[in-house]
Chain A
């Protein structure tokens, strides 16, 4: 062992650090991408602002197949950011966004919800289970389609905690 030991800066990157970095990147008017390397950990962020996104095709779970499909296909898994909480289906069943047909949906994208608010229903052979928000926050995406079959663990509503 060499008597001259190289001391390396050691720094533990926490989850909160990553969330803070994401916020900083997003809030910056000019920052488009960010890269950080710490030892064998590499964090790479590319931020696309709203005007970029509008020019692209929607990417997550918005084109879900009808409940009885021609071919047995499934909706693609939505991309879920690090600072977003996914409300996942506690059971397989049919997902409904409103209490009954014709009524307004429990939540829409942009709504603020409190922890415990109902955000949807899952129907298993006419037995309905309320799906509730596990945190307070803003609904940023609803990847599950109304009336579609959702699987156990499938993301239904994405909430950004506030």
Chain B
């Protein structure tokens, strides 16, 4: 990287994304310091970073979620920038501001953009202002009566959603007026527990939907580009399990429209850094609606990297160092098709119950178009304190069919013992006709696939 004041980066995250960020820093000749909780002292990230500092006990609340500790660690180790990864404090505008006040470059968008998009109701209002289509819905609900009246207007089925956060928490489907009272109370309770804010709003519920999102990335010189879309329709409890790029559902015109819409929104909030604009795509009429914008690097970024050849994390670091994007929009093309499977340490046939423990066997697939983003190794103790994702398996094929075959082969070659994994689940999904034909909806796993698969198992 050409001369810049950025020499050392503090990595304020863990697991596979910590490994990913360290690798990107290394490629750019940047030194790395990783903050680790006691449970992660012996992690792969700790071994790869130039230095690892212990930031607290295992519980995230006392370590990875402590902005003051992270900043003290970054300053104390001479870092000029901090990469927050995803989750944890990545979308906390106050954390971004604290970094700025401490003269540390936050690898991410400006605090104002994080704030604008962080409140989901506010983000929808901004989308409307720019002419981005939004799902027919309500503003923040003041009361159950308010909810009842608005649900009447929007029509059933509808969806109650938390205003302060996503990830499927604080969400309830309401199919009829009689279900409303209970759904309202329970959505509010869950939202309060998950985000400290019980505010919910209503949205029309689209029965047959696909989740399609556009990757955007912008530098501090006014260049804002999109890197096309990802389709993340294979979900369970609103958690993505399989993602692919490009989407098998979009026509070229729809793709271009969605991309332009995403850019318009990003431009409106003065976006810089990497971000993702998520849409709900109605399979019944081909229309799409703005869902939310995530102002951070996403878990599934590798599928975009595999088909565009652009290293998004490296671009993030370059942007943070004040450099322009290393490409122009006209240079961005999609070559081939990529699929990612999120491998979790969970026992899928038993309700996806987490399965922490020591990995006694870790035989991984490999090949020119196979990529494994992971922090695991043979002998690693998967800790019980954090989310259960242990690896992301990504493949690229010449076209979708080839990618499907590549993924099936890669999954078949992936042998893990000591912890249960969702590899068998993924193998079954990849073999399923619905998925292979590209016609799954966001409710497919729960309403069609799981029941039959668990019966057969």
Measured between beta carbons, the chain A residues less than 8 angstroms from B31 are 71-72
**Are B69 and A124 neighbours in the complex by a CB distance under 8 Å?**
yes
**Are B51 and A72 neighbours in the complex by a CB distance under 8 Å?**
yes
Query: With A and B bound together, what is the CA distance between A154 and B53 in angstroms?
Result: 10
- Decide: A72 near B54, CB < 8 A? Known: A91-B69, A94-B76, A153-B38: no
Over the window 22-63 of chain B, the binary record of Cβ atoms lying under 8 Å from chain A Cβ atoms (1 yes, 0 no) is 000000000101000010000000000011011111000001
**Are B71 and A92 neighbours in the complex by a CB distance under 8 Å?**
no
**Are B69 and A92 neighbours in the complex by a CB distance under 8 Å?**
yes
Measured between beta carbons, the chain A residues less than 8 angstroms from B366 are none
- Decide: A151 near B102, CB < 8 A? Known: A69-B78, A72-B8, A124-B69: no
Measured between beta carbons, the chain B residues less than 8 angstroms from A93 are 69, 72, 76
B171 at the A/B interface (Cβ < 8 Å)? no
Measured between beta carbons, the chain A residues less than 8 angstroms from B77 are 69, 72, 149
CB distance from B171 to the nearest CB of A (A): 36
B68 at the A/B interface (Cβ < 8 Å)? yes
Over the window 150-194 of chain B, the binary record of Cβ atoms lying under 8 Å from chain A Cβ atoms (1 yes, 0 no) is 000000000000000000000000000000000000000000000
Could you tell me how many residues of chain A have their Cβ less than 8 Å away from some Cβ of chain B? 20
Query: With A and B bound together, what is the CA distance between A15 and B51 in angstroms?
Result: 35
- Decide: A72 near B68, CB < 8 A? Known: A149-B76, A152-B55: no
Measured between beta carbons, the chain B residues less than 8 angstroms from A73 are 51
**Are B38 and A92 neighbours in the complex by a CB distance under 8 Å?**
no
A31 at the A/B interface (Cβ < 8 Å)? no
B73 at the A/B interface (Cβ < 8 Å)? yes
Q: Which residue of B lies closest to A73 (CB)?
A: B51
CB distance from B14 to the nearest CB of A (A): 14
**Are A94 and B72 neighbours in the complex by a CB distance under 8 Å?**
yes
**Are B68 and A124 neighbours in the complex by a CB distance under 8 Å?**
yes
- Contact among A68, A123, A151 with B78 in the assembled complex (CB-CB below 8 Å): A68
**Are A125 and B54 neighbours in the complex by a CB distance under 8 Å?**
no
- Decide: A92 near B78, CB < 8 A? Known: A72-B50, A125-B102: no
Interface of A, helix, strand, loop or mixed by DSSP: loop
Query: With A and B bound together, what is the CA distance between A68 and B102 in angstroms?
Result: 14
Give the bracket for the number of chain B residues in contact with chain A.
20 to 34
CB distance from B106 to the nearest CB of A (A): 15
CB distance from B79 to the nearest CB of A (A): 9
Measured between beta carbons, the chain A residues less than 8 angstroms from B38 are 152-153
Over the window 63-104 of chain B, the binary record of Cβ atoms lying under 8 Å from chain A Cβ atoms (1 yes, 0 no) is 100001101110011100000000000000000001000100
Query: With A and B bound together, what is the CA distance between A69 and B31 in angstroms?
Result: 12
Query: With A and B bound together, what is the CA distance between A69 and B75 in angstroms?
Result: 11
Q: Which residue of A lies closest to B102 (CB)?
A: A125
Query: With A and B bound together, what is the CA distance between A91 and B102 in angstroms?
Result: 19
Measured between beta carbons, the chain A residues less than 8 angstroms from B57 are 152
CB distance from B70 to the nearest CB of A (A): 9
Q: Which parts of B257-295 form the interface with A (CB within 8 Å)? A: none
Query: With A and B bound together, what is the CA distance between A49 and B141 in angstroms?
Result: 76
Query: With A and B bound together, what is the CA distance between A149 and B54 in angstroms?
Result: 11
- Decide: A92 near B73, CB < 8 A? Known: A72-B78, A125-B68, A152-B55: yes
Query: With A and B bound together, what is the CA distance between A149 and B76 in angstroms?
Result: 6
Measured between beta carbons, the chain A residues less than 8 angstroms from B54 are 92, 151-154
A45 at the A/B interface (Cβ < 8 Å)? no
Q: Which parts of A65-113 form the interface with B (CB within 8 Å)? A: 67-69, 71-74, 91-94
A57 at the A/B interface (Cβ < 8 Å)? no
Measured between beta carbons, the chain A residues less than 8 angstroms from B56 are 91-92, 152
Q: Which residue of B lies closest to A125 (CB)?
A: B68
Q: Which residue of A lies closest to B63 (CB)?
A: A152
Which of B31, B63, B78 has the most chain A CB atoms closer than 10 A to its own CB? B78
Over the window 98-139 of chain B, the binary record of Cβ atoms lying under 8 Å from chain A Cβ atoms (1 yes, 0 no) is 100010000000000000000000000000000000000000
Chosen A-B contacts, 19 in total, with CB atoms closer than 8 Å, are A68-B76, A68-B78, A69-B78, A72-B31, A72-B50, A72-B77, A73-B51, A91-B56, A92-B53, A92-B56, A92-B69, A92-B72, A93-B76, A124-B69, A125-B71, A125-B98, A125-B102, A149-B53, A152-B56
Q: A92-B53, A93-B72, A125-B98 are in contact. List 17 more A-B contacts (CB 8 A).
A: A68-B78, A69-B77, A69-B78, A72-B8, A72-B33, A72-B51, A72-B77, A74-B53, A94-B72, A123-B72, A127-B68, A149-B53, A149-B77, A152-B38, A152-B57, A153-B54, A154-B54
- A→B interface (CB under 8 Å): 67-69, 71-74, 91-94, 123-125, 127, 149, 151-154
- B→A interface (CB under 8 Å): 8, 31, 33, 38, 50-51, 53-57, 63, 68-69, 71-73, 76-78, 98, 102
